[in-house]
Amino acid sequence: MSWATHPAVVKGNFAFDKVQRLPGNIGYEKFRLFAYPYLAAATASSATDFVANTDALIIDLRDNGGGDPATRRPGDPATQRPSDPAMVA
């Protein structure tokens, strides 16, 4: 799938609906889909940079319909599956 054929997704900031700092230095990100990382990388990076120095982070996936599995960060222990090579001793 090419995002060029889905201009609403591009114009909709790759479904990053809200990125903010809440009281108490808590970061909050809400996004509705996992877009192709090579297209949405700059948007995702900017969102992450904005909340990088918070004491906690809420990632709101309640309305997320899924998307490209490559979007998950393979090196992040929170997203690894036991069968991933990095997890096998």
Measured in degrees and rounded to the nearest 5, phi and psi for residue 10 equal -65, -50
Positive or negative, the CA dihedral 7, 8, 12, 15 is: negative
Inter-CA distances, 4 with 7, 9, 14, Å:
6, 9, 12
Question: Is the per-residue pLDDT at 24 higher than 70?
Answer: yes
Give the pLDDT score at 61: 83
Q: What's the whole-model pTM score?
A: 0.62
Q: How far apart are CA 1 and CA 5, in angstroms?
A: 8
Instruction: Please check whether residue 44 is in contact with residue 14, taking contact to mean a CB–CB distance below 8 angstroms.
Output: yes
CATH 3.90.226.10 fits 3-69, yes or no: yes
What pLDDT, in 10s, does the model give residues 30-68? 887 777 677 777 777 888 888 999 999 998 888 777 776
How many other C-beta atoms are found inside a 10 Å radius of the C-beta of residue 78?
Answer: 6
